[in-house]
Amino acid sequence: MKKLLPFSAEQVKSWTGQYPTPFYVYDEQGIRKTVDDVYKAFAWNPGFREYFAVKATPTPAILRVMESMNCGADCSSIPEILLAKGSGISGQRIMFTSNETSALEYQTAREAGAIINLDDLTQVENLENACGIPETVCCRYNPGQFNYATNAIMGHMYDTKFGMKKEQLFSALKMLKDKGSKRFGLHAMLASCSLEQGYYPALARELFGLVLEIRETLGITLSFVDMAGGIGIPYRPEETPINIIEAGEGVRKAYEEMLTPNGIELAIYTEMGRFITGPHGYLLTHVVGKKHIWKEYVGVDASPADLMRPAMYGAYHHISVAGKDNQPAAETVDVVGALCENNDKFAVDRPLPHTEIGDVLVIHDTGAHGHAMGYNYNGRLRCAEYLLGTDGELRMIRRAQTVQDYFATLDVDSEFNW
Ligand SMILES: *Cc1c(COP(=O)(O)O)cnc(C)c1O
């Protein structure tokens, strides 16, 4: 499918004329449409809720959009809890799914009234010591083996650090029940960036099977099943997007076959990040150099400090040359930034229309795990974020970092004079 932009070349020109590049633009209308589709897909389940994964786009303006659409927030750190609360998402609309959790983190989650999702059997005791056992708790499952779990980011489940083995899961639930918990949930995330249409339905079957077994052996009827995130997006033009309505129907089928006849009613939760905002974010960057050595290079003013995924995972991000979308590919280039590291490549051997210094490149599908993964290596400052509102106006939602921000954590003496 041709990768389209929700804004025109004239808009890009006007924005990049006013604001220093690089910067991110998020398309609010696109995000709202996707959230809407998710709620339509699970409308058959009365308790359904999408807990947006805050780590994907930890930005209040985006979280407020989620809040306005009845979403919760999936958090894993104290700052993420504070971001959710500050954006109007509180209490059990916060899911706290953490790993190797500190006592302070448990206390903060408990004070926020969040649902605490335990990653390991040993965490039951840690939780109790930190803040006592809450009435509602969730446990995270790792089956070791799962058909849809093979992919580059997450790998095989037996190789992943998340969740508990089945016997441990059962022990944890029993301990939590004995210690006074009353409402229980089951959580599993067995893929990352999966474009398998059958992933959610297969995961639902796996988890619903456990729901039945847990009721039989422990006498606990679970209140919710959290299928987490992991739904992919078509980064490449030739890839097919997930049909979320169909996926939701697949989960409904499993629910009606496995749970309804057994008199079980429970809420389905999801924690998608990438699927919700990924396709609706764009990184705009100027071409600042053209270099012809052993290969052809297009230099840009963005770097992995702004968008790490290509450097970290070799991830593909589609690139448009603003205003030249209809021109044929004229050169095969590596698109590189300013870091002193050779993995600083947004694209390798990419056919692009002819580019000139001053052109603007639009890097697609950067709305999740993009700006959020930014870092300051090489003294690169992190760039600004803008929201293209449903009113068509572009509004800054995070300013660019300044040198003062970068130096703010240094303990310097009065001799240090920059
Ligand atoms: C990262 C994460 C998500 C979101 O993953 P996506 O691939 O962005 O959908 C959801 N839940 C948990 C526990 C996560 O760690």
Burial status of residue 17 (CB atoms within 10 A of its CB: 0-12, 13-18, 19 or more): exposed
Per-domain boundaries in the chain = 9-24+279-410, 42-272
pLDDT score, position 147: 66
- The whole-number average pLDDT for the span 60-84 is 98
Is residue 232's pLDDT more than 60?
yes
CATH of the domain spanning 9-24+279-410, picked from 3.30.1310.10, 2.40.37.10, 1.20.120.430, 2.130.10.30? 2.40.37.10
Q: pLDDT tens across 354-380, in order? A: 999 999 999 999 999 999 999 999 999
DSSP SS3 for 366: coil
Q: In this structure, which topology does domain 42-272 adopt according to CATH?
A: TIM Barrel (3.20.20)
**From ligand 1's centre to the CA of 406, what distance in Å?**
28
d(CA 100, CA 330): 50
Helix, coil or strand: residue 273: coil
Atom of ligand 1 nearest to the CA of 231: 9
Q: Which atom belonging to ligand 1 lies closest to the Cα atom of 56?
A: 8
* pTM, to two decimals: 0.96
Nearest ligand 1 atom to the CA of 273 is 8
- Residue 279 above 70 pLDDT? yes
Task: Answer whether residue 18 shows pLDDT above 50.
Answer: yes
189 close to ligand 1 (CB < 6 Angstrom): yes
Instruction: Judge if 9-24+279-410 and 42-272 fold alike in CATH terms.
Output: no
Contact call for residues 274 and 33 (beta carbons, < 8 A): no
pLDDT surpassing 60 at residue 152: no
Interval between CA 206 and ligand 1 midpoint (Å):
19
pLDDT given for residue 149 in this prediction: 46
Residue 145 structure tokens: 């083996």
With a 6 Å cutoff on the Cβ, whether 278 touches ligand 1 is: no
Instruction: Give pLDDT, residue 418.
Output: 73
The CA-based angle 137-72-228, given to 5 degrees, is: 65
Q: Which residues contact 345 (CB under 8 A, 6 or more apart)?
A: 310, 311, 334, 335, 336
User: Is the per-residue pLDDT at 261 higher than 70?
Assistant: yes
Average pLDDT, the chain: 96
What average pLDDT does the segment 38-51 reach? 98
Element containing residue 321 per DSSP (H, E): strand 319-321
| pLDDT, mean of residues 157-165 | 90
User: Measured from the CB, is residue 117 less than 6 Å from ligand 1?
Assistant: no
Assess whether the C-beta atom of 226 lies below 6 angstroms from ligand 1: no
What is the atom index within ligand 1 of the atom nearest the CA of 193? 7
- Ligand 1 binding pocket includes 56 (Cβ within 6 Å): yes
Q: CA dist 261 to 98, 200, 204, Å?
A: 34, 21, 16
Q: What is the CA(117)–ligand 1 centre distance, in A? A: 13
Q: Whose CA is closest to atom 13 on ligand 1?
A: 97
Q: Is 53 close to ligand 1, i.e. is its CB under 6 Å away? A: yes
Q: What percentage of residues in the chain have a pLDDT greater than 90?
A: 93
Q: What is the pLDDT of residue 157?
A: 81
